[in-house]
Amino acid sequence: MSKDIKTPFGKITPGVSLFPIYYLLFMYGFVYIFPYGKNLIGISWFDWLRSEDGPLEWLQFFEYVLSSLLAGLIFVRRKKKKEINSLIWLLIAFLSLIIAGEEISWGERLTGVGITSISDLNVQGETNFHNLPFFHNYLLDPVFEISCIFLGWFGWRKFKNIDAFPNKEFSLYFLFVALFYFYFDISWASTTEQIRNDQEIFEFLLSTGIFLHCLKNLRIRFNKKVIK
């Protein structure tokens, strides 16, 4: 949990992790205006970080792989494998691995080898499923919005006994993602120009939130074992 923040008006004790706020302030307040990117790498530092197949997307890949491993370890260490908590941890491990594979188009970005029948239909011309036209155009954004609202608010409020769902501490990692995609879609449907697609900037918060959630719970289980 976040520590007290000292201000001229007294202490503020946040109930959630404030890293997402610091991260967004850093990205839009510092990296966004950081100079000489075009001179050194051909594009701005901000655009480089948020680019497709850029640093943030690769960080997401590694976080999802690690989350899959951590969630898998948590499942293995649970005694009651068939209870709902254990099954959700197993689901997190499975989905994290699937998302990691999707992030790098199942290795096509590394090897250049893909499945032509899929890449020909794909919006980005790659071997992945989340960019197939129907899913990409109609389902992808609502899935982000609904799942992030669930992970960032509904899950910990309504299912407090299920530790497989992220607790209140990690709320902002998911709610900012839901807010971005909601605003992105609303701007598309409005009479104004659609806002810029900074999805990688925000999706990094989602992968980080899941990773930190898995890491925290694995540490708790190890600590309990040590105490025993």
142-162 per-position pLDDT tens digit:
999 999 999 999 999 999 999
pLDDT on residue 59: 97
pLDDT on residue 120: 87
pLDDT on residue 225: 59
- Taking 70 as the pLDDT cut, the residues of the chain under it are 1-2, 191, 224-228
Q: What are the CB-based long-range contacts (under 8 Å, 24+) for 115-122?
A: none
Tens-place pLDDT, residues 90-111: 999 999 999 999 999 998 888 8
Distances from the Cα of 31 to the Cαs of 24, 46, 81, 184, 191, in angstroms?
Answer: 10, 6, 45, 21, 30
pLDDT on residue 221: 81
Domains of the chain: which residue ranges? 52-227
* Angle, in degrees to the nearest 10, between helices 171-189 and 140-149: 140
Give me the phi and psi of 120, to 5 degrees please. -65, -30
Torsion, Cα 11 13 17 20, to 10 degrees, reads -40
Percent of the chain at pLDDT > 70 equals 96
Contact 80, 91 (CB under 8 A): no
Q: Which residue type is seen at 91?
A: L
- The sign one gets for the Cα dihedral 93, 94, 96, 101 is positive
- Identify the burial level of 77 via C-beta atoms within 10 angstroms of its C-beta, where 0-12 means exposed, 13-18 middle and 19 or more buried: middle
Torsion, Cα 112 117 121 127, to 10 degrees, reads -30
Identify the helix (H) or strand (E) that includes residue 47.
helix 45-50
